[in-house]
Amino acid sequence: MGELIAIIERAELSSWVRERAVRAFELLGQAEGQVHGLPADRVALHEVGAVDALVDVVGGIEGFEQLGVSRIYNRPVAVGSGWVHAAHGTIPVPAPATAILLEGLEIGSNGPVIGEATTPTGAALLRVLSSGAPPAQWRAIEAGAWGAGGRNPRSYPNALRLILASAAVEAGEVVLLSTDLDDLSPEYLDPLREALFAAGALDVQVWTTQMKKGRVGFRIEVTAGPAQADQAAAALFRHSTTSGIRRHTAERVTLARREVEVTSADGSAVRVKVLEGPDGPRVKPEYEDVAAVARRTGQPAHEVARDLHNRALRLVSTDKTPPGL
């Protein structure tokens, strides 16, 4: 195992690939070492094969980087059932090293698989690549991909399925966090807003209000998904002077949305948000990209925005992608 890690550290790989590949083999070594009673760097991978493991781990991680996929989620992991034949004889599924590597991950129905459905190598890749369960609501934005294994059972496809998707943040349950402040200088509202968005807030609104004893204050209301609400509340406490937050759950119903890229007059790519309205698409260029084009070209920002708006409308009017995909 130590020799394999040294090979990876010498290889011509990006830091993103190298760090994850090294970590995957460290986890494999620790798990197999725990099973065999050996130091992690002295473990020999007879079950998975050194060359196979090297290609699987480095190739898999490199593949995601070349696809431009930086955030990966997985559904509950199926481990299979029955027994598997290994160098040390017949052992129950999941194999001991696989069971160690899957600690803390959600295990799902085994489905129709008789035998090993998740190997130690696959479990190590999940540990270094996956961010956990996918968002509660998401939509596929491109066709999925299948990778077939060498085994060919009759009752089910022996294949790994990948789906490229985006979170459907525009619908579903949200948590509203609100607080009133009269002792925070207005100049610190922008840093507070930035910290809340960094913590996962979907929206942040601020408006003036009159508080007790006639003092002028601000009401801050944060919209966040259920999974990000605690982080957003922690950021609100940390980056403001509040001593208490009101919190309640609401249902948000909004238009389906997607993002497209439009080429501006100076040739740069600009992100444009597309909302699927009841009377047709509505488009809005991203402010930061509009401002960047205006700075580069010297054009007024509102003229840049109008030009991009028209370009985006022409693009989506010929786009045959079904609404919401």
The pLDDT value given to residue 141: 66
* Site of tokens 């989620």: 73
The model's pTM is: 0.57
The pLDDT value given to residue 134: 84
Closest among 182, 189, 183, 233 to 209, alpha carbons compared: 182
The pLDDT value given to residue 168: 67
- How are beta strands 159-162 and 145-148 bridged, if at all? antiparallel
Alpha helices in the chain (DSSP H): 2-10, 15-36, 50-67, 96-101, 120-129, 189-198, 229-239, 287-297, 301-317
List, for the chain, all residue ranges whose pLDDT scores fall below the cut of 70: 45-49, 140-143, 167-171, 319-325
- Cα separations in angstroms, 56 against 121, 122, 186: 8, 9, 53
The CB density around residue 25, as the number of other CB atoms within 10 Å, is 26
The pLDDT value given to residue 319: 61
The pLDDT value given to residue 271: 92
